[in-house]
Structure 1
Amino acid sequence: MSLFARIFILNAAVVAVAALLLLFTPVTVSPQARLAEALIVLAGMAAMLVTNAVLLRVGLRPLARLTRVMTTVDLLRPGTRLAVRGRGEAAALIVAFNNMLDRLEMERATSAARALSAQEAERHRVAQELHDEIGQTLTAVLLELKRVADTAPPPVRDQLRQAQESTRNSLDEIRRIARRLRPGVLEELGLASALRALATEFSTAGLSVRRQVGSDLPQLSREAELVVYRVAQEGLTNAARHAKARTVELRLREEAGGVELCVKDDGRGLGGAPEGAGIRGMRERALLIGAGLSVESPGKGTEVRLHVPIGVPA
């Protein structure tokens, strides 16, 4: 039955009931309506309107449910679907909406996978160029400064030593940026060693990082290890730059048939602010490997949890 037919039948039923009441009840209206008759007519009209409103509310309830889901759905939190009840145009509309969400989530996952793959490839290229080109050039400059400083007179030698120190600091900074862009330790030594090195790097930057990395963890795919590393890196970066935290806990352990990463700081928390590009980027990465991500502010600070199930293909 179409939506138009349902609404028409509901209204017709209300009008028919009112006509039957007028025909087969002793209710009459004088040529000049009395007060009692006017009250009866107004009460009957109010009852008709209330009955009509209730019936229409019941008939249009599926559309109201669909509207609520449409205003709250988020493609970064997939799986939201509306239950199909009954038949007719409303049920067909709900089915079409659920199918549209399936297509949108699949297309977003595909496009996000391509974008993140291209991003990782670009990071790899930039890190390689920083290490091979700029790093080698600065190393050559550093050696030349040392050679000149060894034969220069004392006043010039001090200035060359300062330039040598500045060049060495720049070289260390470039190497640090290259390591962040391309986590070579992740490819060479594995996830546990990469997280320990990441915690040590942020600890030397003025942030106290307490790490608890399990030694006997299930084997993860290469894509899953990269996602875990990037989420930990983003969590530590947010704690250092935005949360004004002093202490961060970094935990990686086996839990509930998978591996769980937890990054918890003692900073100022989210404070009801909308999610930024960093958190949405973490959600997109988690979706690519079928992992669950939660970002909460339990009292003080922020807690990022990533649960990676075992055996889910990337």
Structure 2
Amino acid sequence: MEVEVDENELKNFGAELLTDGRFGLRIRGWEIEAVKQSILKSLDLHQWEEKLQTSHLPEMIFGNSCLSLKHVASGTKIHFNAFDALKGWKLEALPPVEVPAAAKWKSRSKPFQQVILDYDYTFTTPYSGSEIVETEKARENISDVRCSLNWEDCKEKIDMVALSEKEPILYYNEVVLYEDELADNGISLLTVKVRVMPSGWFLLLRFWLRVDGVLMRLRDTRIHCIFADCSFPIILREICWREATFNSLAAKGYPMDAAAYIDPGTISQRLPTIMHETQKLIFKGNLITICCFTG
């Protein structure tokens, strides 16, 4: 999906393109930027294996790609990258999906060695984004002070109906963070996409897993920022996890054929909800409320 907007039209909405070779938009106190790079090379992969303490990584990792949204007044940046997502995968350490053929899938690189499938080869991650907050102490390079955003549980929900209303799209981008095709037996895919409108920005981080004939898993993080006031935006985050086995869907009359489940967006409502929560980012004055602690 390519979105072309005239710079004069952007100016009419109080927006402007980023400069210095950056691909993104500046609007209502936010800088929104996407970086797309090729997959990691072998040397980088080796370094990632050492840092993550694993010898198993997805087939395609776009390790230098990212999407970031920076609230300039507060110095707060919400960003999305593959390394932090894989840290979440490693920490959660789900048991491997039980599939008899899975060991054969993963032995393709070492066909004469026995493969012990003792890790989550689907690379499922609980990742919902990364945060950086530049406080005064951080600017003074005090390394033992860490800050995080103050997300509070709330009953408000993202208004998906309002988001579906026709509105000019000032900027759109989608970034693939990592992908594994499970040796042509399914898909494991982590992507993040954002679109910016005159009224605000909307982001979807999606982990999509399909193990053909066995399991489907969908983990979505949606974040919606409303430009209610340049210094006091409204930001909601919804995290929803869904999953189902092919057998359970077949029992409800749905097809077993994996070809029927190519697009997660069209079948998400068929998958039972495992977890759902909504949070609101708390602002104080014209700054995002942050929590700092020493480590």
Query: Which has the larger strand fraction?
Result: 2
Q: TM-score, normalised by structure 2?
A: 0.24
Query: Which has the larger helix fraction?
Result: 1
Q: Considering only CA atoms, is the larger Rg found in Structure 1 or Structure 2? A: 1
